[in-house]
Amino acid sequence: AQSVTQLGSHVSVSEGALVLLRCNYSSSVPPYLFWYVQYPNQGLQLLLKYTTGATLVKGINGFEAEFKKSETSFHLTKPSAHMSDAAEYFCAVISSGSARQLTFGSGTQLTVLP
């Protein structure tokens, strides 16, 4: 079975500071990995995804994530936080079964301080 662990349910950064949101996964086969963002009272929006190929993946709004197989990690980063980045972020892994279902982490609430 696939699983995802997000370290830190709440992260606070100052505007302009580095954003680092941590995600570790467990998978018996090469995973597909995703980061989604959820703004208040809205659905989830895909930030970026890793399937195969280059391990450094760039997404929308200046975010990027690096797939590190040896560390089973897929941490999300952004060099300079903006107030509009305040939201909840979810890491997810897709299952290896035929149904190809997403398994989500518990989420990290990002607060950006002025």
Partner 1 sequence: EAGVAQSPRYKIIEKRQSVAFWCNPISGHATLYWYQQILGQGPKLLIQFQNNGVVDDSQLPKDRFSAERLKGVDSTLKIQPAKLEDSAVYLCASTTGLGNEQFFGPGTRLTVL
User: Where along the sequence are the contacts to partner 1 (CB under 8 A)?
Assistant: 4, 9, 32, 36, 41-46, 49, 90, 92, 94, 98-102, 104-107
Kindly tell me which of 31 and 81 has the beta carbon lying closer to partner 1.
Answer: 31
Kindly tell me which of 73 and 108 has the beta carbon lying closer to partner 1.
Answer: 108
70: Cβ–Cβ under 8 A, 6 or more apart, which residues? none
Shortest Å distance, C-beta 16 to partner 1 = 28
Shortest Å distance, C-beta 49 to partner 1 = 7
Kindly tell me which of 78 and 105 has the beta carbon lying closer to partner 1.
Answer: 105
Kindly tell me which of 70 and 98 has the beta carbon lying closer to partner 1.
Answer: 98
Ramachandran quadrant class, 8 (left: phi over 0; alpha: psi -120 to 50; beta: rest): left
Determine the distance from the C-alpha atom of residue 4 to the mean position of all C-alpha atoms in its chain, rounded to a whole number: 10
Rounded Cα gap, residues 2 and 20, in angstroms: 23
Shortest Å distance, C-beta 83 to partner 1 = 22
HSE, side-chain direction, 13 A CA sphere, residue 1: 4
